[in-house]
Structure formats: structure tokens, C-alpha cells
Structure 1
Amino acid sequence: MLRNILTIGGWTFASRVLGFARDMLIAATLGAGPMADAFFIALRLPNLFRRLFGEGAFNAAFVPAFTGTLTLEGPKRARELAARMSTLMTLWLSLLVGLGMVFMPQVMRVLTPGLVDDPSRFGLVVELSRITFPYLVFICLTALVSGVLNAVDRFALAAGAPLLFNLFAIGALFALTPVVATPAHALAWGVALSGVAQLVLVVVACHKVGMGFPLLSFPRLTPETRAVLRRMVPGVLGASVTQLSLAIDIFIASLLPVGAISFLTYADRVAQLPLGVVGAAVGTALLPVLSRQLRGGKPLSAHRSMNRAVELSLALTLPAAAGLIALAEPIVRVLFQRGALGAEEAILVGEALRAYALGLPAFVLIKAFAPGFFARGDTAAPVKIGIAVVAVNLSLSLVLTQFIGHVGIALATSLAAWVNASLLAGLLARRGHFTADRRLRRNLWRLVLAAALMAAVVGGLMLATFPPPGTGTGPVRLAILGTLVAVGVAVYFGATQALGALQLREVLRRGRKA
């Protein structure tokens, strides 16, 4: 499992680094004004539905079913199940996209009421959303085919496919800007085309490993597909609750001054690096492992896998969260302060980044705990938890934005994530499916102490060495930030070694044997 986590994390890290290059270009070109806000809203809409129908509920229901069919009945029956689910997904999503294209103005009136009174901004949002929305069909099918690859332990290409999203966005910004209305239009077309490219990549990979299947065939509702759909229903409801939180964030942010959506998006991009590298990797790799162990009658192995996933999640995200809090302003200034995004906007992005960083460990723990439900075929329990989380997020957002503006939305999201992770862990523990073992209990406080020490060291050095806002050249800021990050990594891993919390030799040894 560890090798799979490292494989997924490595490819995801490469994608996130390339994503930073994309976001740096967007910040320099669009800044944090109306055009940037419009593009980010247009990008969030298909991603909202993608997480709902593609990566969330569908994977939770499909991957265990596909893995079980492959293990018990063989590759042929597993491919048949994948083909039937692909057909149903294609038909349903095509209908959804068609309706969305027609009724996009009505959708945006509900989602972004703060823009309705500004016809130029609202019209741009509708136009860009109509360009990006078909991306939903291709990226959800990509998630399905990636699930097949993950089930047969082929993680690399599925994890590397998002690289194409960033490459197409960067390429479109340069190649299409001269021939379309605005740079935002160029980016929107890049998003749509990247969905096609990602789907082609994983389909070819699936055929190469002998698991190819037709994406569209005559639709049939077999007992196996009905079972997947039944499991999807509560999962979709649960995912709907989560995505409702994101929709609420957009709704509230649209009521704030121009730029709030962009500030939150740029900050979220930075926070997504450790979340994507660690959280997505842990969740993706853990689900098929737990499914095989539980179907094979090995509950103790599943218990150990869950504990090690939680331990690894905390070992990597606690220092990431501490580092982002301590170095938020230097990170944002190095990544985004250029061109159309100035020093004042960079400070506002940094404030949001600190708020998101507070919830980073919780976001990753959610990814580690959720497979404990999904591998047992339980997609209903997280729905109840999700409803409570939405209520918390909405209440906190409404209160906090009155005092700290856009930062209140980010802080509410982080606090709600901690509620979510706590409730998931508590329910698993009450059912006897998760108990922190001796090793996890012993290492937890050591990891927290090491991360706090690292934050104190790099925070102090940052105050002493990093140029104040409005001063210092780009290369100087980059060199100082790189040094601070290197010092932070050395302090953290040195402290974990001294405290006996994380032995790097053991991690490397297990990675080679995994």
C-alpha cells in the first residue's frame, strides 16, 4: 500500500507543481479581478459535479464492486460491469450537461446572486461556464476508467492524467488568447479540451493492461449494476451535502467585494498541494486494499492498514499545515505577486491560505477514514455526518464573514472539516472498525511537537530574513523561501528522528517491499 501511496503522491505532486505554474500565469494575466472571478466560477461548476458523480459517490460504490467481481468472477465479468456502468454514466451525464448548457443563466442566478446586478460580469460567467461544462462528461468517465486501473494496481497513469489538465490550460493561455475574446475564454477552452485528452490517456492505458472495455454500449440493468447504483444513491446524497458546502462558499463569496472568489481560489490552490499529494493518494490506495482484506476475511490486516494510513497522513500533513501557516505570505508573494496581482492582493490571499491550512490535517484524515465505510459497502453513514457538516459550515461562514470577510469562508471550511473527521473517526470507533493502536498513540504527540518546533524555527527566520511587502526582487524572495522550506524540512525530520516518531529508514524499506 505504501508504494501505491508514494506512486500516486508522486504523480499528484508533479501535477500540483505544474498547476502552480498554471496559476502563476493566471494570476499574472488575470489578477484577482472580475475576469479571474468569472473563470474560477466556471471551473468550479463542472468540478462540483465531477466530485459528486465521478470521484466521490461513484468510486465509493464502483471500486469495491469491481474489485470483488474481478477477484471472485474474473476479468471478463469485471470488464462487463465496467462497460455497463460506463454506458449509464455517459447517458446520464450527457443529459445533465445538455440541460446545464440550456439553463446556465438560471443556474448562475442561484449560485452567484451577487453577480446578477452586474450584467457584464454575470454574462461572462454564463458564457465561460457553457464552455467548461462539457468537461464534466469526459472527466467523470476518466474517473471510472481510473478506478479500473487502480483496482488492478496500475496507479501511475491514472494519477498522472491530471498533468494534461495543467498542460492544456497553459497551452491554451498562450495559443488561444490571440484568437478568442479574452484570456479567460482561452483558459475555459483549455479546460474542455483537457477532459478529452485525459480520457484518451486512461482508456489507452486500460487496453494495454488487458482491461479494456467499450465506453458506450447497449444499456442494461443487471443485478451487479443495480447493486452499484443502490450503493451510489446514499453516496450521491452524501457527496451532494459536501458539494453543497462548496456551492454555499461560492454563493457567499459572490456577495463579497470583487476579488474574494479569486483570493479564495488562489489560496485553495496552494493548500491543495499537500491535500492532493497525501490525501488523494491515501484515499485512492487505501480503498482497494481494505476491500481485498475485508473480502478475504482479514479484519486485523484491515485494522493495521487503517492505522498506518492515518499515521502517514498525519506525519506528512501536520508539518505541511504548520509550514503553510508560518510561511503563508512568502509563499503567496513568490507564487502569485506579479503582473496583474499586486502586493495588497497577495496579502489577502495569504490570510485565506492560513485559514485553509488550519484544516489541512482534517481534510486528509477524512480521506483516510472514508474508505473504512466504503470498503464495507456503507455509503449511507457519511450522509448523516455530511448534513451536520454543511450546517456547521454554513453557520460559521455567515457569522465569520461579518468580521473577517473572505477569510471567514476559508476558516469555516477548515473548522467544518475537523468536525467531519472527528465524526467519521468516532463512528468507526463505535462500530469497532477503527481503534488507534499503540504505535499511532505513541507517535501522535511526537509528530505534533516536531511540527510545532519546525513552525517556530521557520517563522522566526522568516521575520528576520524575508523582505517586507513591496520590497525585494523575485529571485531574492524565491531564494529565501527555498532556504526556509529546506530548513523546515530538515528541522521537522530531524525532530521526528530524535523523538522516535518517524524512522525514515523504515519508511523507505517498507516502500521498497510494498
Structure 2
Amino acid sequence: MNLLKATGTIGGLTLVSRILGFAREMLMSRIMGASAAADAFFVAFRLPNTFRRLFGEGAFSAGFVPLYAQRLQGEDGEAEAKKFSEEVLAVFLPTLVLFTLVFQLIMPVFVAAISGYSGEKLELATYLTRITFPYLILISLVSLWAGVLNSLAKFTAAAFAPALLNVCMMLALILFPQGGPDTAFWLAVSVTIGGVIQLGLLIISAVRAGVSLRLRRPKITPGVKQFLVVVIPATLGAGVYQISAFIDTFFLARIGTGALSWFNYADRLNQLPLGVIGAALGTAILPAISRHVGANDPDKAAHVQAQALDLGMFLTLPAALALCVAAGPLAGALFQGGEFTARDADITATVLAIIVLGLPAYVLVKVLTPGFYSRQDTATPVKTAAVVLVVNVVLNFVVQAMSTDPLFRIAGLSAVIAITSWLNCAILYVILHRRGHFRVPGWLASRILRQLLAGAVMVAALYGLEMVFADWFTGSAGRRIVAVGALVGIGMGIYFPLCWTIGGVDRQAFKDLLRRKRPAANA
């Protein structure tokens, strides 16, 4: 597998989705502002997405992809892999439906416990969450079909599917722009409709790839047992991460009106490189590492992981540094306007500048965890996540108790997220290192140092530009967008050529890709 090409395919299509997501957030900030209705919708949107990460993307992929890939390598590979997928689907779907029905019944209590809302705001948040919650079933099934396609090295449909959700939500904002509870209702409806369309795309793509799954009667077969042995610890581990997300929501909702909105818009910018780079790398390398581990070739597995770390840092470091330096201009240009005031943009910028300090760690975790999942070790990330969760909770309680100032409290919460992300990354790496599964080779350490040097030069240039053209960043919306576009372009124009010049990038890999030649075996 060409890691650079696979990552480029996934990352490029994810970038399309993220750009549409930005367009959606720009519309939403101007129409909804940082209002109570906006906060209620963000609660309704975060809850099914949090459970999606629990049942769908992380835990499911960790258990399903390696086992599916192993069956493809067998004598009757395609038939065995298809049978395994149908057996898992037969158990997975009823579990999701039952889970969703239970939460529909307890929704008022659950939303109240998470958000701390009361009165009309609680009623609205509960109503919206009941509408969005079926998205959990749909997007979790998307994860199953995505796992099948990714194992076949067909990444396009799964990478593009999230764009369809953004299109649906943008249509809701365009068609119902009055703001308040009415717009929030149609946004919630668009989330579920988007899930239906995403699932349809993945099923059609799988059929075209020659995989048509039929529904079986639920039965705990040997394959399902093997899957559960792997996926239950992964689910517990993902559960720890999602408890952390619930904790963040818990604290944000209690900071005051607007906090969830400010954090959401800042995190949208933070999620751009994380989704484009981190998710793409994690998706691309898991099947490759699994095949090398299954073939008893740990050196090749470690080399794939080192390549992914190299590419991840090459792309993430400039993103993190630029987002931190240009947080103010970015938040103002993208979100300020309409119902979203200059104060809202300033607070969003503060949150962004802090939270992106953990961005390289977020991406590194995506690169390191496949080193465990490919060996069907999902227990170790669970233990690591539990330690990180405890630290997260303790630090959050300390920070929130230190002051009643909303700005201090949301900045402190952002700092805790960044700190605990680095802690998680460090623990995972130390464990892999001690087990002899992965160590940072000398060539990689040297290359990262050169990337940091190029990043430092870029930061100095961006600071200078912000000082010289300060009036452009506080002018009209058009001037702000032009100024930010120029800032991004100049930053890229400094970092990437400098990295190429001083050896901060694998030049040969890029040359091979550009020439459309088959890369060497060690690439």
C-alpha cells in the first residue's frame, strides 16, 4: 500500500468535508449566534456523536478491520470475510436499536444530568436530542461498511460521506434562516436525514466493490465471539474517552450561555487538521500494520508507523503553530457577523489558541493506537485512557473552582484538554517502546527537528505580518477574509519550501507520487 497516496485520498476528501463544515459553521454562527438555542442544538448534536465514537469509528474499527483483513488473506478470503461481516451486522444492528430506544425513554433525565439545563432550555435540548439520536444507528452502520471498504483499500466513499451531512445541515440553515428554536429544529432533522444519505452511499459503494451484505438472524458465532473479545475492551477504552467528552460538555454547559457555542466554533478549526491528517493516517495504516503483524514482520509494521508519524508531524506542526498564532484573525474572519459578536469571536480565538497546543498529540495518538489494535491488544489503550480521564477530571475540577470568570474557566478547560492529550500520547509511546513494537528511529527524530525549525521561521513571519497589517484583520468582513487568506498562503509558502530545502520531508516519496510510479518496497 502507498501510504502517502492512501493518506492523500482520505485526507483530500476529508478536507472537502471540513471545508463544507466551515461553510456550515459560518452560516450557523451568523444565524444562531452564541444563543441559548444554539447551545441546546450543540448538546443535541454532541450526544449522538459522542456515542457514535463509542460504538462506531474507534472501537468498531479497532475490532472489525484487523479481523476482516485477516479473513481476506485466507484460502476462501472474500467469502469468509463477507460471512464474518454479516454475522457482526446481525448482532450489531439490534444492539444499536435497543440502545437508542432506551435512551429515548430516559432522554430528559440524561440531558439534564449532562447539561445542567432547566426549564425551556432543557425542554428544547431534550426535544432536539430525541430527533438527532437515531443518527447514532445510521452512522454506526456507516462505520461497518466503511470498515469493509477500507479493508479492501477503497477509501473514497467513506472519506467523502461526512460531506453529505454538512450539505444537509447547510440546506437547513439556508431554507430556515430565522434563527432560534425553529432553525435549531430543522438542523436536528437535517442531522438524521444526513445519516440516511451517508449510509446509502456506503452501501451502494460496497455493492459496487462486490460486497453485498444480507441480514441474518442474530447469533453468537465463533467469529462474533472473536470480534467481541477484541471490541469490548476497545469499547470500554472508547467509553473512557467519551466519558471525558461528556465531562467537557458538563463543565461547558455550566460556564454559562455561549460557552458551548464558543468551544464548538474553536474546536471546528482544531478538528480540521485532526480530521484531515489524524483520521486519514489512522484509517490508512491500520490495515497495513495488521497485515505485517499477521505476516510476522514487525519491522515493516514499525516502519509503516514511523512513516505515518513523519507525515503526520510534517502536516500537523505548521497547522498547530499557524492556528495558535492566527487564532484572532481566523475567528474574526470566519465567524464574526450577524448574531455572532466581536466579543464572541475574541473568546473563540482564545479557546482556539490554547486547544491547538495539543493538536500534534491528538494526531500522534491516531498514529500510535493502531500499533495496539493491529495486535488485537485493545486493553492497553483502555488502561491508558482511564488514567488520562482521571487526570482530566481532577484538573477540570481544580480549574473550575479557581474562578467564576467564564473566560478563565473555558480557557482552563481548553488547557486541560491539551495537557491530557500529550499525557495520553506519551503513555502510549512509552508502552510501545518498552515492548519493542515501535521506537522513533534517528532519521525520524532528525526530520521532526527540521520541521520544528521551519515552523519557528513561519511563526516569526506570521507574527510580523499580523503587526504590519493589523488594520486589515479588524476591518470589514471582506478585508478580514482576504487578510486571513493571505496569512495562510504566506505561511504555507514559507513552511513547505523551507522543509523541502532543509530535509524536513521525504522528498523521494513525494517525487514517486508526483511521477505516478510504484514506490520502492521500503516506502
TM-score range, shorter chain: over 0.9
Q: How does 1:200-211 map to 2 (within 5 A)?
A: 200-211=200-211
Give the aligned partner of residue 492 of structure 1.
495
Q: Deviations over 1:387-431 (max 9, x none)?
A: 111112112222234351111111111110000000001100000
Q: Distance in 1 between matches of 2:322 and 2:178?
A: 40
1:177 deviation in Å? 6.0
Opposite residue 488 of structure 1, the aligned amino acid is G
Q: Deviations over 1:459-510 (max 9, x none)?
A: 22112213377x4111111111111111101111132123211155642424
Equivalent position SS for 2:257: coil
Q: Distance in 1 between matches of 2:308 and 2:388?
A: 23
Opposite residue 105 of structure 2, the aligned amino acid is V
Q: Distance in 2 between matches of 1:97 and 1:75?
A: 32
1:282 aligns with 2:254: no
Opposite residue 293 of structure 2, the aligned amino acid is L
1:91 deviation in Å? 0.2
Give the aligned partner of residue 227 of structure 2.
228
Give the aligned partner of residue 9 of structure 1.
11
Q: How does 1:369-384 map to 2 (within 5 A)?
A: 369-384=368-383
Opposite residue 107 of structure 1, the aligned amino acid is F
Unaligned runs of at least 5 residues, structure 1: none
Is contact 2:32–2:180 with CA below 8 Å preserved after alignment?
no
Q: Distance in 2 between matches of 1:167 and 1:151?
A: 27
Q: Distance in 2 between matches of 1:473 and 1:505?
A: 44
Is contact 1:61–1:377 with CA below 8 Å preserved after alignment?
yes
Give the aligned partner of residue 114 of structure 2.
111
Q: Distance in 2 between matches of 1:423 and 1:316?
A: 23
Normalising by structure 1, we get a TM-score of 0.96
Equivalent position SS for 2:139: helix
Q: Distance in 1 between matches of 2:148 and 2:354?
A: 36
Opposite residue 381 of structure 1, the aligned amino acid is T
Q: Distance in 1 between matches of 2:290 and 2:21?
A: 32
Q: Using the TM superposition, name which of 427-436 and 407-416 deviates more.
A: 407-416
Q: Deviations over 1:69-112 (max 9, x none)?
A: 11114111111111111121110010111111111001112211
Give the aligned partner of residue 18 of structure 1.
20
2:39 to 19, 22, 37: 37
2:440 to 433, 436, 440: 436
1:483 aligns with 2:486: yes
Q: Distance in 2 between matches of 1:354 and 1:508?
A: 34
Is contact 2:369–2:428 with CA below 8 Å preserved after alignment?
yes
Is contact 2:55–2:235 with CA below 8 Å preserved after alignment?
yes
**CA 1:468 to 1:180, structure 2 compared with 1: closer, same or farther past 3 Å?**
closer
1:384 deviation in Å? 0.8
Is contact 1:392–1:416 with CA below 8 Å preserved after alignment?
yes
1:420 aligns with 2:419: no
Give the aligned partner of residue 186 of structure 1.
186
Q: Distance in 1 between matches of 2:181 and 2:464?
A: 47
Is contact 1:70–1:78 with CA below 8 Å preserved after alignment?
yes
1:297 deviation in Å? 2.2
Q: Distance in 2 between matches of 1:435 and 1:299?
A: 12
Unaligned runs of at least 5 residues, structure 2: none
**CA 1:276 to 1:375, structure 2 compared with 1: closer, same or farther past 3 Å?**
same
Q: Deviations over 1:110-151 (max 9, x none)?
A: 2112x13xx011111101000000000000000110000000
Q: Distance in 1 between matches of 2:95 and 2:450?
A: 49
Q: Distance in 1 between matches of 2:472 and 2:153?
A: 48
Q: Distance in 1 between matches of 2:432 and 2:121?
A: 46
Aligned residue pair count: 509
Is contact 1:42–1:128 with CA below 8 Å preserved after alignment?
yes
Q: Distance in 2 between matches of 1:269 and 1:19?
A: 8
Equivalent position SS for 2:211: coil
1:181 deviation in Å? 5.5
Give the aligned partner of residue 140 of structure 1.
140
Q: Distance in 1 between matches of 2:252 and 2:153?
A: 41
Give the aligned partner of residue 48 of structure 1.
50
Is contact 1:496–1:503 with CA below 8 Å preserved after alignment?
no
1:454 to 451, 458, 467: 458
Equivalent position SS for 1:182: helix
Opposite residue 159 of structure 1, the aligned amino acid is A
Q: Distance in 1 between matches of 2:164 and 2:386?
A: 34
**CA 1:345 to 1:432, structure 2 compared with 1: closer, same or farther past 3 Å?**
same
Normalising by structure 2, we get a TM-score of 0.95
Q: Deviations over 1:136-183 (max 9, x none)?
A: 000000011000000001001110011101011111223356899610
Give the aligned partner of residue 96 of structure 1.
99
Opposite residue 272 of structure 1, the aligned amino acid is Q
Give the aligned partner of residue 87 of structure 1.
90
Give the aligned partner of residue 477 of structure 2.
474
Q: Distance in 2 between matches of 1:405 and 1:463?
A: 29
Is contact 1:177–1:186 with CA below 8 Å preserved after alignment?
no
Opposite residue 83 of structure 1, the aligned amino acid is E
Give the aligned partner of residue 266 of structure 2.
267
Is contact 2:472–2:480 with CA below 8 Å preserved after alignment?
no
Opposite residue 121 of structure 2, the aligned amino acid is R
Opposite residue 434 of structure 1, the aligned amino acid is F
Equivalent position SS for 1:405: helix
Q: Deviations over 1:255-310 (max 9, x none)?
A: 11210111111100010000000000000000000011111222211111010101
1:62 to 61, 64, 73: 64
CA RMSD of aligned residues (A): 1.6
